[in-house]
């Protein structure tokens, strides 16, 4: 992922328990068949 040239960013705010849900609607697109996709969550956390 770190070497990727281009990424999608999906918002995923966390709730009070620290759970983040990122909605990624899968469209009706035959080009998706057999494809691999890679997902990574990055969290922002205040340092104080």
Partner 1 sequence: MDWSCQCDFADVDHDGDDDLMHSSYGQAFSGAVMSRMFLNNGGFFSEYNPSAQISGNPNIAPGSGAGFLEGQHQTNTTDTTGLFHDIANVSLDVDFADFDGDFDNDIQASSRDTQQRIFQSRWYENGESYGNEVATTRLYRDVTGSWLLGPGGLAQLPGANYDNDFHDMDNDSDVDGYFLGYIGTQDRWAVNDGSGHFQSFQTVPNSANDDNETDWHDFDHDGDVDPFISAFSGADRFYKNQYVETSSINLTEVQLGQGLGVQTLGSDMGDMDNDGDIDIICAEDSGQNEVLLRNNINVPDPIAPRIDQIQQLAPGNPSSTPRRIISRVWDNINFEYMKQATGTLNFTVNGNPHSAHAKYTGGNLWRSVIPGYFYGNISYSLTVSDRVGNAGTSAVKAVVIPLQGFTTFGTDLPGCHGAHVLGVGTAPTVNNPEFSMTCTGGPASSMSLCLVTDSQGRASTSLVSESRSGPM
- Interface positions with partner 1 (CB under 8 A): 1-29, 31-46
Least separation in angstroms between CB 37 and partner 1? 6
Reading the block at residue 4, the tokens are 């990727």
Least separation in angstroms between residue 48's CB and partner 1 is: 12
Q: How far is the CB of 47 from partner 1 (least distance, A)?
A: 11
The Cα–Cα gap between 43 and 46 comes to 10
How far is C-alpha 48 from the chain's CA centre?
26
């Amino acid at each position: 992922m770190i070497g990727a040239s281009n990424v999608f960013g999906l918002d995923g705010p966390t709730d009070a328990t620290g759970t983040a849900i990122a909605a990624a609607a899968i469209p009706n697109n035959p080009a998706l068949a057999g494809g691999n996709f890679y997902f990574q969550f990055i969290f922002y956390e205040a340092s104080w």
